[in-house]
Amino acid sequence: MDSIILLSLLVVFILLGAPVGFTLILLPTGYILLTDAAPLTLIPFKMFDAIDSIPLTAIPFFILTGELMTSATITDRLVEFSRRIIGRMRGSMAQVNVLVSMFFAGMNGSVVADTATVGSLLIPAMKRAGYPAAFSAGITAVSATIGGIIPPSIAMIILANAGGISVGALFAGGIIPGIMIGAMLMVINWMIATRKNFERSEEPFSWRLMGKAGANASFAMIIPIVLVGSVLGGIAGVVEAGAITAATALLVGIFIYKAITWENCRGAFVRAFRTSATVFIIIAAAGPFSWLLTSLGAIKDLEVWLLSYADSPLLFALVIVTFIYVLGMVMDAAANIIVVGPVLIKVFVAAGYPEVQGALICVVGFLIGTVTPPLGVGYFTAAAIARASLESVAVAMLPYLVALFGMLFLLVVVPDFTMWLPTLWGFVQ
């Protein structure tokens, strides 16, 4: 009963707009003060223990990389390259939105950063081209989920640390699902654009112009290649790869594109520090809350309940995907990954699924939650940039969210989508 009350209070506080980190700290602190269940000094100990991990130090590097890429106007080059690839496809600006998110995903690893960066550039352009504000915000938000799935992925680093899983295995496993989601979104874009007669670029496709745009963006493409190649090739760990990636972004911005000045470099570092602090506050705050749920038996009860459906693979897949999807709608992704992620991985393993597959399903599901109403932060961000009502954006996102739910279900029932590359590259036997 205590655990149900605590979880209900957590959802209520979040619905009321309380900061996630503050709420996660407040509840276990209040519980200890009321029940004297443990020394109060346990709170800071569990907070420190949650962030006392070397792999987590890669997160600031990836966030800094994304900020430097924005300062170096690399996003503009990726947009132009994507526009040249798409050509005269119906609804080309919406397709460019998805394609840019796929490119940007290989450099940043954050859904929110992808939404803010790509959205601030493309949402106004889409509105000028005649797209409804709600549709522009919706496609920006859902395509940003790719930012946390294609490596690097901050969510994967957090879950690998919490669940004791190889970061390289998760990075390898995220590539195919990320590409699949991007392709699925583009198909839905085409269907909607055709039905609603959205714009189509009048400029004919040109191999020469595409090659020129590709050349202009080529140094930007080096960054994800350096990152993914160094981690998956065993050349560097995730922390070293993050540092190399950030350094590469800085050098490309200063010496190749000559777009980073001292002032915007300083701004990039300040924004990266602030964002990193926010992420680490949530990670630290989730430590005491996770301990409290475990001590109250809620984590064990959840495990038993989910495993009660394991005898029927399809029913199990439906139940666990629905659970992840709904939980992602009302809780922060980082908090979900730390508090619930490890137990869900245990459930998957107990039900006969590979550990890496279970972890990737958790990551994808919780990241979808970050753009899903009513509390998805990516959903709020895109709606704010587009100056569209939250209700209209939610309606515009509906076909995409249904498809993402189906994709998540598919990842459960078809293991090869998540396990083929980790097995091929030797991360899984």
pLDDT of 180-191, one tens digit each? 999 999 999 989
pLDDT, one tens digit per residue, over 112-137 is 778 888 888 889 988 888 899 999 99
CA angle 342, 346, 351 (to 5 degrees): 150
Helix (H) or strand (E) run with residue 387 in it: none
Model confidence at 359: pLDDT above 90? yes
- Checking if the pLDDT of 235 tops 70, the result is yes
Cβ contact 103:146 at 8 Å:
no
| The dihedral sign for the CA sequence 87, 93, 98, 104 | positive
**In the chain, domain spans:** 2-424
pLDDT of 340? 92
DSSP string, 351-366: TT--HHHHHHHHHHHH
Helix (H/G/I), strand (E/B), else coil: 243: helix
| Of the candidates 274, 276, 224, the residue with the CA atom closest to the CA atom of residue 108 | 224
Q: Residue 197 burial (CB < 10 Å; 0-12/13-18/19+)?
A: exposed
298-307 and 2-15 are packed helices; what angle lies between their axes, rounded to 10 degrees?
90
d(CA 321, CA 328): 10
- pLDDT given for residue 201 in this prediction: 62
Q: At what angle do helices 74-86 and 92-105 cross, to 10 degrees?
A: 130
Residue range 74-107, pLDDT digits in tens: 778 888 888 888 866 777 888 999 988 888 776 6
CA gyration radius, the chain: 21
Q: For 292-300, what is the mean pLDDT? A: 88
| CA–CA gap between residue 36 and residue 11 (Å, rounded) | 24
Q: pLDDT tens digits for 362-421?
A: 999 999 988 888 778 888 889 999 999 989 999 999 999 999 999 999 999 999 999 999
Q: How far apart are CA 273 and CA 287, in angstroms?
A: 21
Q: What is the pLDDT of residues 152-189, one digit of tens each?
A: 888 899 999 888 899 999 999 999 999 999 999 999 99
- What is the per-residue pLDDT for 1? 67
Peptide bond into 204 cis (omega under 30): no
C-alpha pair distances (Å), 224 with each of 155, 265, 385, 387? 17, 20, 27, 32
Q: Residue 22: what residue type? A: F
Residues 10 and 293 sit within 8 Å (Cβ to Cβ):
no
Half-sphere exposure of 109 (CA within 13 A, CB side): 31
pLDDT at 408: 92
Q: Which residues, 6+ apart, have CB-to-CB distance to 136 below 8 Å?
A: 94, 122, 123, 126, 127, 386, 388
DSSP secondary structure letter of residue 18: -
Give CA–CA dist 180/264, Å, rounded: 35
- Residue 87: predicted pLDDT: 63
Q: Output phi, psi for 90, to 5 deg.
A: -60, 135
Residue 326: both structure tokens together: 């709904």
Terminal CA-CA length for the chain:
42
User: What number of residues does the chain have?
Assistant: 429
Grade residue 38 by pLDDT with cuts at 50, 70 and 90.
confident
* Residue whose structure tokens are 């309606």: 395
Query: What average pLDDT score do residues 226-232 get?
Result: 81
Q: What is the dihedral of CA 103, 105, 111, 113, to 10 degrees?
A: -80
pLDDT at 54 over 90: no
pLDDT at position 392: 94
| More confidently predicted of 75 and 272 | 272
- Cα separation, 292 vs 37, whole angstroms: 10
This prediction's pTM? 0.90
Quote the mean pLDDT of the chain.
Answer: 88
Q: Which of 286, 246, 242 is nearest to 268 (CA)?
A: 246
DSSP 200: B
Looking at residue 4, what is its pLDDT? Answer: 80
Tens digit of each residue's pLDDT (9 = 90 or more) over 306-326: 999 999 999 999 999 999 988
**343: pLDDT strictly greater than 90:** yes
**What's the pLDDT score for residue 199?**
64
Q: What span, in angstroms and rounded, lies between the C-alpha atoms of 386 and 120?
A: 8
Q: CB 423: neighbour CB atoms within 10 A?
A: 17
- Whether 108 shows a pLDDT value over 70: the answer reads no
Q: Letter for the amino acid at 232?
A: L
